[in-house]
Amino acid sequence: MQDYPWLKHYPEGLKYISGDYPESSLYSFFENTLKKYPKNIGLIFFNRKTDYSTLEKKVNSFAASLKKLGLEKNDRIALILPNCPQFVIAYFAALKLGAAIIPLNPLFSAKEIHYCLNDSRAKILFTLDAFSKKVLEAKENTKIEKAIFTNISDEFPLLLKLVYRIKTTKEYFENNAVKNHYSFKSLLKNNDNVETALINPKTDCACLMYTSGTTGEPKGVPLTHYNLTSNVFQISDYITDCLTEAKDSQIGVLPFFHIYGLTFVLNLSVYKAFPLTLMPKFNTKPLLKAIEKDKINVVAGIPAIYAALFKKDLSKYNLSSVRFWGSGAASCPASTIEQMKKISKGIFIEAYGLTETSPIVIMNPPKGIQKVESIGIPIPNTFCKIVDLQTNQEVGPNQIGELIVKGPQVFNGYWEKPEATKSVIDENRWFHTKDIVSMDEDGFFYIEGRLDDMINVRGEKAWPQDIEEVLREHPAIKDAAVIGIPDDYYGQIPKAFIVANGNISKEEIINFCKNNMADYQIPRKIEFIEEIPKSPLGKILHYLLRNSN
């Protein structure tokens, strides 16, 4: 323990290693908050406020209907929904039954949805009627037995619902006219009581998340109740001074189909009894208005969201209620962090995590020293090491290697992919993240790149992220991505894909690189494109660029 340099920067009074966390189910978070604060507002959706006692009635009714439809303990239900009350109701209803939730991105293609439904062997799916054509196509030749549909307006305030339905011509599933198709509204009419299933938090799967597929075909990541509740305990303990139970509020702009949004926004809000303002999609103006109107205290975002905010005149909005701004999913540029600090008195904290770690592993401390462009230090009960890429031996400060981690939030292995599991979890149960990092003398970690993206230029290791950051500094370059391509002389060379922000030639780009980076980092090939392919949370999909070459 004395060898961990980050300990001197730990929040005062917080133990780094404090033993096992309570073996809790995710549903117990909801139960405990309901008992303590039944009349507190749980959800705000287009100004419609729902308290916990009302939410519990809907959760119980939906759980009773799901049970009647055949959903049992350890079954799986796919939620293909944006952030809306319907997601929250279905989420806790399924958890009450001991079933596992599969949150899927509604923007997935029919092919991608089919893959996840087929791979997971989900029994029931729940989606918006707006996605019905795509989803019905996707569920063909899968194990789906029942399909539930809702309209986004089903949980709108009455007047807004009427206006919305007058203006829209979308198809509505108001009854069960089609066999094995059910409307959300009809399933909320079930008044049967449902007992909460007995679960083993350490072994029972709560959520089967699918990785974003940044290296190709997505993999199922089963996360137990203990994985997910432990990460909430870790986060809550680490930033305890930033969170006030039953008084603070949070905004749900991060999608719940992503582990960052699911854990830090939904699960943490329910655990801390926060009113949670739900946003089905991100738009800057509605987000800023909601922060101001609902006096939001906690905002979790990604660099792309914060960058978009600066395109608005922020002086028109009162953001003084925000005490905590969080950023994750991708590296946040130093300029963005500095801008955030100027517009708000709240602290801005960058963190790091993965789907496989529920997600948070490393986070900047809420008080004291914070280092720009660092992802921070390990959170409580989380062990982190950096190991050499060839020898797998631990390396010291200021050396680059692969980050490996252990902790209660770390998953046990991929869904039905034993070989993939063996490739990332070693015999000592260390999870090999494939993220290349370094650590300074103070114990602060820095992302250098992805192992899969490393470019080997005659033995020199070039990291796309380093090259991309330099390229984006040129005023005529709007965005950039870099991959390695084969070369007879160098083995591999960097190739840059450029989204231009003005007139610039390939020669100008190469000359700019010669003046700003090492010779082996200079892109030898340049290609201009309209848009860099990225995941929903802003990660560059380098594999798509590699596949196109």
* pLDDT higher at 450 or 409: 409
Least confident of 50-59, 309-318, 500-509: 309-318
- pLDDT tens readout for residues 35-55: 999 999 999 999 999 999 999
225-271, pLDDT tens digit by residue? Answer: 999 999 999 999 999 989 999 999 999 999 999 999 999 999 999 99
CA–CA dist 186, 176 (Å, integer): 9
> Distance between CA atoms of 26 and 88, rounded to whole angstroms?
12
Once rounded to an integer, what is the mean pLDDT over residues 331-350? 80
CB 536 within 8 A of CB 213: no
Q: Is the pTM of this model over 0.75?
A: yes
Q: What is the largest CA-CA distance in the chain?
A: 72
> What's the whole-number mean pLDDT along residues 432-460?
87
> For residues 467 and 456, what is the distance between their CA atoms, to the nearest angstrom?
14
**Residue 142's pLDDT is what?**
96
State pLDDT tens for residues 91-149.
999 999 999 999 999 988 899 899 999 999 999 999 999 999 999 999 999 999 999 99
Rounded to the nearest integer, the mean pLDDT of the chain is 90
Query: pLDDT tens across 159-189, in order?
Result: 888 888 776 655 545 545 578 899 999 999 9
Query: Mean pLDDT, to the nearest integer, of 301-315?
Result: 85
Rounded distance between C-alpha atoms, residue 511 and residue 517, angstroms: 10
Residue 75 pLDDT exceeds 90: yes
- Of 11 and 195, the structure prediction assigns the larger pLDDT to 195
Residue 393's pLDDT band, with cuts at 50, 70 and 90, is very high
Q: What pLDDT does 175 receive?
A: 47
Counting residues of the chain whose pLDDT is more than 90, the rounded percentage is: 68
- Percent of the chain beyond pLDDT 70? 96
3-state secondary structure 329-397: CCCCCHHHHHHHHHHCCCEEEEEEECHHHCCEEEECCCCCCCCCCCCEEECCCCEEEEECCCCCCECCC
Cβ distance 95 to 56 under 8 Å? no
* Residue 488 burial by Cβ neighbours in a 10 Å radius (0-12, 13-18, 19+): exposed
* C-alpha–C-alpha distance, residues 78 and 103, integer Å: 6
Please, what is the Cα angle at 232 between 226 and 235, to 5 degrees?
A: 135
**Superfamily name and number for 454-547:** ANL, C-terminal domain (3.30.300.30)
What pLDDT is recorded for position 2? 57
Given a contact cutoff of 8 angstroms between Cβ atoms, the answer to whether 194 and 63 are in contact is yes
pLDDT at 536: 66
Answer whether residue 452 shows pLDDT above 80: no
Peptide bond into 359 cis (omega under 30): yes
Is residue 105 helix, strand or coil? coil
Mean pLDDT of 515-527: 89
Task: List, in sequence order, the alpha helices (H) in 168-242.
Answer: 184-187, 225-238
